[in-house]
Amino acid sequence: MRVFNFAAGPATLPLPVLEQARAEMTDWQGSGMSVMEISHRSAAFVAVAEQAERDLRELLGIPQNYKVLFLQGGATGQFTAIPLNLTAPGATVDYLNTGVWSKKALTEAKRYCTVEVVADEAASHYTTVPAPGSWQVSAEAAYVHYTPNETIGGVEFDYVPDTGTVPLVADMSSTILSRPIDVSRFGVIYAGAQKNIGPSGLVLVIVREDLLGRSRANTPPIWDYAVMAQEGSMLNTPPTFGIYIAGLIFQWLKREGGLAAIGERNHRKASLLYDYIDASGYYKSPVSRNARSWMNVPFNIADPSLEKTFCSEALAAGLANLEGHRSVGGMRASIYNAMPLQGVEALVAFMRDFQQRHG
Amino acid sequence: MRVFNFAAGPATLPLPVLEQARAEMTDWQGSGMSVMEISHRSAAFVAVAEQAERDLRELLGIPQNYKVLFLQGGATGQFTAIPLNLTAPGATVDYLNTGVWSKKALTEAKRYCTVEVVADEAASHYTTVPAPGSWQVSAEAAYVHYTPNETIGGVEFDYVPDTGTVPLVADMSSTILSRPIDVSRFGVIYAGAQKNIGPSGLVLVIVREDLLGRSRANTPPIWDYAVMAQEGSMLNTPPTFGIYIAGLIFQWLKREGGLAAIGERNHRKASLLYDYIDASGYYKSPVSRNARSWMNVPFNIADPSLEKTFCSEALAAGLANLEGHRSVGGMRASIYNAMPLQGVEALVAFMRDFQQRHG
């Protein structure tokens, strides 16, 4: 029996996608082979990768002057790849620090650039986002990097920063495809797959063409955006099964009505949960109202000694992986695209019941 | 209906492994989740990764003073990672050039080191391996790199080079697990998964502990052997599904009798095919007898105009992906561990029939 899985990533996937993968596991499209056993250079697999890119372009409305890359090494690999691709030695780059993942990204960039932390939400213990106008792009910045959604803190920007002509770089790992965005506002968007795209081991990069060809001499070829754009992401063997699953998920998203419909549903799911938390007088969200993530919802009980009981009783009720990140404790419900409204309703019903019994 | 799939990689996988993956696709071990939906830091997944490592150590007899890493970025990523992990700027390194993959590895190393090509089989058009004693380790070499099996050329070393105290580094992508080896002869072994290990998107590194901690300052953290050894290959989210499938394949190999039994079977498969080719008076192997790969068997017909017909008729007979690499043409049968003896027997029967009809 399937459970409602609130893990932060790797995370729940749409059941119809898993069912299709299961049905084709030993004989994909009548080939007599699994899709895992097909050459990445075969016409059949190239068609899979091209269809995935077309569907993603349609879903996100990606303009023609952007390249779509399917790479390896996760968002953590991109922490290295971003400065190598976009700057020359001696460059200054701007980072907004809003939590654990911003911090990791800027720490890695320091190995290659002078990093200006132009906004830092330490004072609020990373429960806020910097207000527009409260921070400025450095005069010399080669790019501005931010993390639109912090998976651990559950902090999400409610605006896209205006950086003028300076390229805006965004780690969208835990928010991509959760609602429509205007891709033309960004220089580079990257996202680890294991939340809203597919299985782990795949990272998506969307890069504006005029930013290609600036890479440093010591950029690893498999992360060099110009090289990988030229090679259709196949300089070497790509993670074929991951691309196949991502493609199935993009098709599922289209069947669900695209990002406008998905965004509306996600907003409803998040509102249901936050409204209940706020009204409960028992649970608490640590995050400022304007910075609350649609995807990752951390919450606490006044009595932290009950948190372990909460999670184990929830699991027994078919609500899995509600433990907060080990660095912050508490609870966290990740409610990505594949989490149905019924899952959030079941969670709220459980929280209400738990409060009645323990509150 | 399943076919016999002779692709060079991604390649055929054992049917029982695919069937188990299918059976557990939506509910893995009663968790109510796919293994793809499980956190990499959960006890359940850590147990999967640890079991995979234990089984691999048992299969290959990996000594205790070696670390086993499961990384991303393929062998091509390791072409970059090897010099970054093992040398300081200004170092000299030795490479043996026996074909396409050796050449790619040494070309990348040139970006970081002075590369001495201490053996080069260009004169034979890469159909030979250098004889032991015919080449020497450079006085200053930080390591010696070679490609025990060239996937495209079908050229395999019939000996392990003796490099004295200089670490020997081997790209074993297309030969690993095909027979027993003495791991203690090597400093680093690496291998892309998509031949004998599992799906693409995973690369295995086996590294001797005394070689850890020598990495350059600009080594990407996800490829820094010391960092990844410290983190149990989980500095960031690993390719969890790939590790799961690899683990199932290691268990399958153990059930099949381990590498001694597998090696015997592979030797039988390869001998059957080469003996038939040599005796046919119609097909030809371009590779010197002592350098013939057990895993990748390129062959030609005297009349190249028949090669296309050969491949399409073979496919119709359920023998798929016999086309040679696009860079060399001809035919190639990759007969990795998961290719049963019956597959090679069916190929030989087809070749005999084709010769009778067209020869």
- Note the pLDDT tens digit of each residue in A140-160: 999 999 999 999 999 999 999
User: What per-residue confidence (pLDDT) applies to B247?
Assistant: 98
Q: Is B101 a catalytic residue?
A: yes
How far is CA B271 from each of CA A329, B278, B346, rounded to the nearest angstrom?
Answer: 60, 10, 14
**A34 lies within 8 A of chain B by CB:** yes
pTM here is 0.98
Contact B192 A237 (CB under 8 A): yes
Place of tokens 């490829």: B223
Answer whether residue B198 shows pLDDT above 90.
Answer: yes
**B316 lies within 8 A of chain A by CB:** no
**Position B315 confidence tier, pLDDT thresholds 50, 70, 90:** very high
**B19 lies within 8 A of chain A by CB:** yes
Rounded to whole angstroms, how far apart are CA atoms B173 and B160?
Answer: 16
Q: From B323, which residue of chain A is nearest by alpha-carbon distance?
A: A42
User: What per-residue confidence (pLDDT) applies to B276?
Assistant: 98
Rounded to whole angstroms, how far apart are CA atoms B223 and B229?
Answer: 10
Of B22, B239, B240, nearest to A26 by CB-CB distance is B22
> What is the CA A347 to chain-centroid distance, rounded?
22
What average pLDDT does range B242-248 have in this prediction? 98
Question: With contact defined as beta carbons under 8 Å apart, do A158 and A131 qualify?
Answer: no
Answer whether residue B206 shows pLDDT above 90.
Answer: yes
Rounded to whole angstroms, how far apart are CA atoms A236 and B100?
Answer: 13
**Position A289 confidence tier, pLDDT thresholds 50, 70, 90:** very high
Q: Which domains does chain A have, with CATH numbers?
A: 15-255 (3.40.640.10), 258-358 (3.90.1150.10)
CA dihedral B22, B26, B31, B36 (to 10 degrees): 80
What average pLDDT does range A241-265 have in this prediction? 98
What average pLDDT does range B227-247 have in this prediction? 97
Best mutation target among B80, B87, B237 (most A Cβ atoms within 10 Å) is B237
pLDDT in tens, B67-97: 999 999 999 999 999 999 999 999 999 999 9
**What was the ipTM of the complex prediction?**
0.98
User: What per-residue confidence (pLDDT) applies to A90?
Assistant: 95
- For B203, what's the count of Cα atoms within 13 Å in the CB-facing half-sphere? 30
User: For chain B, percent helix, then strand, then coil, each to nearest 5?
Assistant: 40, 15, 40
Question: With contact defined as beta carbons under 8 Å apart, do A6 and A330 qualify?
Answer: no
Question: With contact defined as beta carbons under 8 Å apart, do A35 and A24 qualify?
Answer: yes
Question: With contact defined as beta carbons under 8 Å apart, do B256 and B262 qualify?
Answer: yes
Answer whether residue B210 shows pLDDT above 90.
Answer: yes
How far is CA B140 from each of CA B119, B166, B167, B295, rounded to the nearest angstrom?
Answer: 16, 9, 12, 34
Best mutation target among A31, A42, A237 (most B Cβ atoms within 10 Å) is A237
3-state SS class at B140? coil
pLDDT in tens, A169-203: 999 999 999 999 999 999 999 999 999 999 999 99
**Which letter does DSSP use for residue B131 in this model?**
P
The per-type count for chain A, helices as H runs and strands as E runs, is 9, 14
**Position A302 confidence tier, pLDDT thresholds 50, 70, 90:** confident
**A39 lies within 8 A of chain B by CB:** yes
**Position A328 confidence tier, pLDDT thresholds 50, 70, 90:** confident
**Position B279 confidence tier, pLDDT thresholds 50, 70, 90:** very high
Question: With contact defined as beta carbons under 8 Å apart, do A200 and A182 qualify?
Answer: no
Catalytic residues of A: 101, 171, 195
Contact A240 B27 (CB under 8 A): no
What average pLDDT does range A298-319 have in this prediction? 96
What average pLDDT does range B184-212 have in this prediction? 98
Rounded to whole angstroms, how far apart are CA atoms B189 and B209?
Answer: 12
- Which three-class secondary structure string do you get for B168-215? EEEECCCCCCCCCCCHHHCCEEEEECCCCCCCCCCEEEEEEHHHCCCC
User: What per-residue confidence (pLDDT) applies to B49?
Assistant: 98
**B289 lies within 8 A of chain A by CB:** no
Contact A111 B15 (CB under 8 A): no
Q: How many CB atoms lie within 10 A of CB A267?
A: 13
Closest CA to A293 of A152, A132, A145: A152
Closest CA to A108 of B219, B213, B88: B219
H or E stretch covering A96? strand A92-97
> What is the CA A255 to chain-centroid distance, rounded?
21
Q: From B8, which residue of chain A is nearest by alpha-carbon distance?
A: A39
Contact A76 B235 (CB under 8 A): yes
**A205 lies within 8 A of chain B by CB:** no
Place of tokens 């996800």: B222
Closest CA to B241 of B52, B74, B57: B52
| Cis upstream peptide for A10 (omega within 30°) | yes
What average pLDDT does range B342-350 have in this prediction? 98
Longest Cα pair distance anywhere in chain B, in angstroms? 62
**Position A327 confidence tier, pLDDT thresholds 50, 70, 90:** confident
**Position B359 confidence tier, pLDDT thresholds 50, 70, 90:** confident
Proportion of chain B above pLDDT 70, given as a percent? 100
**Position A128 confidence tier, pLDDT thresholds 50, 70, 90:** very high
User: What per-residue confidence (pLDDT) applies to A119?
Assistant: 98
3-state SS class at A155? strand
pLDDT in tens, B112-165: 999 999 999 999 999 999 999 999 999 999 999 999 999 999 999 999 999 999
**How far B341 CA sits from the closest chain A CA (Å)?**
18
- From chain B, the residues in CB contact with A9 under 8 A are 39, 237
**Position A359 confidence tier, pLDDT thresholds 50, 70, 90:** confident
H or E stretch covering A300? strand A296-301
How far is CA A191 from each of CA A107, A169, A299, B107, B306, rounded to the nearest angstrom?
Answer: 18, 11, 25, 30, 47
